[in-house]
Amino acid sequence: MNDEDGVCESGRNDSATPQTSLVDGQIEERIQVDRKRLEAMITGEPLYGSDKHLPSAEDFFLKVSELSGALISWPSRLKIGAKTKKDPFVKVLGTAEQVNCARQLIASMLKVKRDRITLKIEIPHTEHSKIIGRKGKNTQDIMRETMCHIHFPDSNKNHDMEKNNQVSISGSVGQVEKARKCLRNLSPLSISLDLPNSCRYPLLEVQKTIGMPELFITFRENYNGTINCTIKGTQQQEVGIVKTVMVLAEIFQIQGESSIVCQTVLNIRSSLRSNVMGDDRAEQLQCVAQQTSTSIQCAVNASDGAAIVISGPIAGVIIARKYIISLMPVALHFDRVVESNYDLVDKSSIEKEFGVTMNEKWRKNQNFSNISVSDRYFENSLRRFSSYLIAFSLSLVYGTFHCR
């Protein structure tokens, strides 16, 4: 039986609502189903992010009805590709045994996965368009590959509005981490260095000699007679950038690429300066600078932001840059269903193990709790936390993690 009006969609997140008893021993139950899988079954398109085809929705629910003996009402007019991420409901009518059987059959194909999280990371708004790519191709490819949803703030499209650096990634724990790495790999990486005017080739032919067409390399003569070189690429091309510096050292007759002082600049919001260059960071940054043979300096720029300048050998500059990016604040949101008043999270053990600050608040009239966790090192420690989060979220978790 089709639900022609498509009214079985709801904003609630529990997978099954309490049963309603009817006459003659019949009961009615609403079962929440996975939206993306149901959309694929309705359209006949492969499952989002894969080549897998699911059975048609009409055939599937007809088969469930035949096997269980229950009447099934499903949202056949579900709006495909809607902005809402709410999972719809299917109504099941029958005896307790029939409803239980139908529930199990439906869950085998359309069970809502509870390991969905939303991660918000800091990426400078000036880099957003480069990461998104022409007509959104880059982010569309990442979303297709990871089955995650990626959102860049709309406020950046308006020049008069305050810019927002926060980018959101929603999906399962493992896939969100994969998407995060993909976004970081697409982040622009620009390296500048000064070279002596001792090149054996015309500058226009140097890029051909280097053999890295995917990198954008420019040369400019300084007032003191040296040559300033800028190498532009992305983080995923860092190996190619290192090789380019090595080739330049040979072309410009410099003994060892470590003799070339390279420089890169990271732009951050001024409010995040303490995250990176605060007093409690001084010892750590000094240690990083020593281990990478780099110099790390911070300066306030005119656009109410801060510029972190990293100078040194190319390998050290890239390593130090990654470390500083790992200090950027993130926010992690996920759901937790609370079974009873005593079903509380052991906050103290989590805070002690992961070095976070955690708070849990209940939502009124719902069996959900809201969890807040703060941790300034979170992106750096996300890999370690993910294994715990997978187990936590699979036990039906819904909460909010704020990491500063």
pLDDT at 79: 87
Q: Which of 49-58, 201-210, 244-253, 363-372 has the lowest mean pLDDT?
A: 363-372
Interval 43-53: pLDDT, tens: 988 876 667 78
Q: In the chain, pLDDT over 70 holds for what percent of residues?
A: 74
Question: In this predicted model, which residue has the larger pLDDT, 229 or 81?
Answer: 229
pLDDT of residue 394: 40
Please state whether beta strands 71-73 and 331-336 pair in parallel, antiparallel, or not at all (unpaired).
unpaired
pLDDT of 368 reads 55
Residues 243-248 have a mean pLDDT of 92
Closest CA to 18 of 374, 367, 385: 367
Query: Does the pLDDT of residue 168 top 90, yes or no?
Result: yes
pLDDT tens-digit readout, 325-359: 888 878 877 766 665 555 566 778 877 777 666 66
**Least confident among 251-255, 295-299, 395-399:** 395-399
Burial 186-209 (b: 16+ CB within 10 A, else e): bbebebbbebeeebeeeeeebbee
Asked whether the predicted pLDDT for residue 397 surpasses 50, the reply is no
Higher pLDDT, 368 or 312: 312
343 in the Ramachandran plot: left (φ > 0), alpha (ψ -120 to 50) or beta? beta
Q: Which of 2-11, 85-94, 340-349 has the highest mean pLDDT?
A: 85-94
Q: Pick left, alpha or beta for residue 378 (phi over 0 → left; psi -120 to 50 → alpha; otherwise beta).
A: alpha
**Higher-confidence position of 385 and 207:** 207
pLDDT attached to residue 341: 55
Has residue 378 got a pLDDT over 60?
no
Q: Is the pLDDT of residue 165 over 60?
A: yes
* Cβ contact 10:75 at 8 Å: no
pLDDT tens per residue across span 301-329: 656 678 899 999 999 999 999 999 888 87
Asked if the model's pLDDT at residue 155 lies above 80, the reply is no
pLDDT given at position 12: 41
Question: If you average pLDDT over residues 230-257, what whole number do you get?
Answer: 90
Q: Which helix (H) or strand (E) holds 190?
A: strand 188-195
Binned at pLDDT 50, 70 and 90, residue 18 comes out as: low
pLDDT for 35 equals 87
Mean pLDDT of 70-95: 87
- The mean pLDDT value for 185-193 works out to 96
Eight-class DSSP state of 251: H
User: What average pLDDT does the segment 22-46 reach?
Assistant: 86
Distances (CA, A) of 11 to 86, 149, 334: 6, 18, 15
Question: Whats the size of the chain, residue-wise?
Answer: 404
> What pLDDT shows up at residue 381?
56
pLDDT confidence of residue 72: 94
Q: What is the pTM of this model?
A: 0.71
Cβ(309)–Cβ(265) under 8 Å? yes
Average pLDDT over residues 18-47: 83
Say if residues 333 and 400 touch (Cβ distance below 8 Å): yes
